[in-house]
Amino acid sequence: MAIGIYTNLYKDNDLSVTKAVIELLNSAKIDFCISQSLKQFFPQCQTYEKENFASLELLLTVGGDGTILNVARQCIENNVPILGVNKGTLGFMAEIELGKLDGIIDVIKNGEYKIDKRSLLCAEYAGQIYLALNEAIVYRRDTKMLTVDVKIENQLVDKYSCDGFIVCTPTGSTAYSLSAGGPIMSPTVNAMCLTPINSHSLHTRPVVVNADEKVQISVCRAYENPVLIVDGVEVTKINLNENLYFYKSDKALSFIRLKDSNFYNKLLSKLNIWGLTEN
């Protein structure tokens, strides 16, 4: 078995972090292989293919949370855990910060880690099911608001006039939902959060529901066909008065965490960084 390396070339544009990671792995005599996108920069390294991806011990990503989202589906389907090196802005899901790259060796060679399983969300529409690690969003295509009916187990929650509507996992609670005014949820909570985007009402608030419940959303008014966006990718257009369903998947995505990793310490650190104004 080998370690896979996947790099976001936009985030690590000079490949300095990727080179440092490769040097660390070589010095520790740890087998690794790289993605096809890195082959031109490291022609001496072996690459992993779609056919042997499932044999990877773990996938080491260099980038931010968006980088992890890019490879999440492949890792879910092949049961490959992710160890993220943070080269992004915040990196809530990444585990290794740039100043602590040596921690990679502790994790891989010495087995000093724990597994963090993150729940996934199913977004179902027109017979198709889309998996989300962060969130699924019903969103407008123009400058006009949508009107959506939201139900849980066929019971009306509310009718919202808004720019869009977010259904997120606990992992996604620190992503778009947080920016839209949603609460932060511990990743261990069995829940989903329903967050309207710019709702035209003084009484609407985000709602946290049990993840074992099924959420039903239908768009009853829109000027153009709205869209369903899953983890930042537009997956389909939505017709008026057709139901979308959201519920917890029976699959999960595994992350490698350092033994002393603590969600709340990371949260405080990241939110303090988020609160700073860039020059």
Catalytic residues: 65
Q: How far apart are CA 176 and CA 174, in angstroms?
A: 7
Looking at residue 105, the DSSP 8-state letter turns out to be H
Helix (H) or strand (E) holding 254: strand 243-258
Q: How far apart are CA 16 and CA 111, in angstroms?
A: 26
Please answer whether residues 64 and 97 qualify as being in contact, where contact means their C-beta atoms are separated by less than 8 angstroms: no
- Under 8 Å CB-to-CB from 87, ≥6 apart: which residues? 8, 11, 12, 17, 62, 63, 64, 67, 98
Amino acid at 259: K
Q: How far apart are CA 44 and CA 136, in angstroms?
A: 40
Please answer whether residues 150 and 138 qualify as being in contact, where contact means their C-beta atoms are separated by less than 8 angstroms: no
| β-sheet bridge partners, residue 5 | 34, 60
